[in-house]
Structure 1
Amino acid sequence: MNPFQQPIGPPLPHWTARPEPPHTPLSGQFCRVEPVDIDRHAEGLYRAYSAAPDGRDWTYMNAGPFPDAASFRSHLTKAAASRDPLHYTIIDLAAHEPVGMLALMRIDRGNGVIEIGHVAYSPLMRRTSAATEAMFLLLRHVFDDLGYRRCEWKCDHLNAPSRSAALRYGFQYEGIFRQAVVYKGRSRDTAWYAMIDRDWPAIRTGFERWLAPENFDAGGVQRLTLANWIAAQSGPEP
């Protein structure tokens, strides 16, 4: 309560603005997330995205699909030059090939808020450990390395796969912002999800246990889902 007997939020006497995210590589056991490089990534990324039979993966994205390599390279050139969003390429460490992209964006240093967006996984990433680890690497960077208080995930409310992914990764649903965006000539209601710093320790442990070798059988099939592991951190061991 303040002197006027009004309820107010908890004080943050030691809070300082968070640092600008450095555009540097983040390495895991299955993938590496590194700054977009036109010469090193454009050809491989276009090849990875071209493995899709049609353009449905781009329906809910601001850009794409791309009719040819030149148009994709033009898109990637703009992405590489941007500092917010800060775009990364995902490198599959087994194949040594680029397989997807994501970004840190809407970087609010003063409030310690940041968003993960522009998530464009190619068909080569589907149902792979690299797909989950890439998200873990960025989240760990946001909370553990940079000390942000809040990480957001937003998507078209009609994008069921993205909404499902947000929940799987441990984000909590916060509501719908109606008519929030116009893109590709149509209106978008935006679904908001977020996790905050006090959520992160349990989510981090869930990711670590999911990614552990013992969570997979000899055929590489998961024994417990990521959602199971995250939920277990606030309850009995699964």
Structure 2
Amino acid sequence: MPDNELGQPVGQLLSGWAPRLAPSAPVLKGRYCRLERLDSSRHAEELFEADRHDTTGESWTYLPYGPFGTLADYRRWVEGVQDGEDPRFYAIVSTERPEVRAVGVLGLLRIQPEFGVIEVGHVHYSPLLQRHRAATEAQYLLAAHVFEELGYRRFEWKCDALNAASRAAAQRLGFSYEGTFRQAVVVKGRNRDTAWYSMIDSEWPGIRDRFEAWLRPENFTGEGRQRSSLGPA
């Protein structure tokens, strides 16, 4: 750790650092899915129909909105967020099956180009996306965009500390747990302690290699079952 002229410890000097660009890509394409800017006219009906497969509404438990009882309600929500830049919402359009359709949503938020920090959030996967290759590839596409195209230094994942599925997903995808912020926010009238995870640019090459190895077609049987799992090295 370097010292300053007073002999006090200071952080590493980032020679040549400059603020990064804010995300602007309208589409991110992969093998099993593509991410498209969320748009009511193109995605609302498909997403609403996909979400109806969650008959209990369980997938909305930890989000500050939803479930939506009618297409009109869902369309109004999409129209209210689709043009925002922070959060910047994407629809996940599955292309791995014959029927190409929107089956999930995620977004980039808390975007800080001056620091090179950005977060993935508002992740909502319908049952038609859960446990499919496109679910993992969507996260890979976003992380690759953040680190390789935008040049950010830090990618964050935050979730309700009680959301065991989200916490497991973060670790499976290569995020590292950093701690829990107690009584961080109130969601749907309930307290939320928030668990923080991150990955940083120096870790990305190894995480990218694991993603790409997992996503290769030969890693899957004819029925779509994985041969090797994705997880931290």
- 1:151-230 alignment to 2 at 5 Å? 151-227=155-231, 230=232
Tell me what 2:102 maps to: 98
What is the Cα deviation at residue 182 of structure 1? 1.0
- Given candidates 140, 148, 152, the residue that maps to 2:152 is 148
Pairwise CA RMSD: 0.8
What is the Cα deviation at residue 218 of structure 1? 2.7
- 1:20-169 alignment to 2 at 5 Å? 20-93=22-95, 94=97, 95-169=99-173
What is the Cα deviation at residue 217 of structure 1? 2.1
Measure, in 1, the Cα distance between the counterparts of 2:12 and 2:213: 33
Measure, in 2, the Cα distance between the counterparts of 1:90 and 1:75: 17
Measure, in 2, the Cα distance between the counterparts of 1:119 and 1:168: 15
Indicate the structure with greater helix content: 1
1:62 is paired with a residue whose SS is coil
- Given candidates 3, 7, 12, the residue that maps to 2:14 is 12
Measure, in 1, the Cα distance between the counterparts of 2:142 and 2:88: 11
Measure, in 1, the Cα distance between the counterparts of 2:151 and 2:165: 29
Measure, in 2, the Cα distance between the counterparts of 1:90 and 1:163: 21
Query: Any conservation in 2 of the 1:23–1:86 contact (CA below 8 Å)?
Result: no
Identical amino acids, percent of aligned pairs: 52
What is the Cα deviation at residue 81 of structure 1? 2.1
Measure, in 1, the Cα distance between the counterparts of 2:108 and 2:25: 10
Measure, in 2, the Cα distance between the counterparts of 1:44 and 1:89: 10
Q: TM-score, normalised by structure 1?
A: 0.95
What is the Cα deviation at residue 216 of structure 1? 1.3
Report how many residues are paired: 229
In the alignment, structure 2 segments of 5+ residues that lack a partner are none
Measure, in 1, the Cα distance between the counterparts of 2:17 and 2:186: 35
Kindly report structure 1 stretches of 4+ aligned residues shifted beyond 6 Å: none
What is the Cα deviation at residue 53 of structure 1? 1.6
Measure, in 2, the Cα distance between the counterparts of 1:214 and 1:67: 41
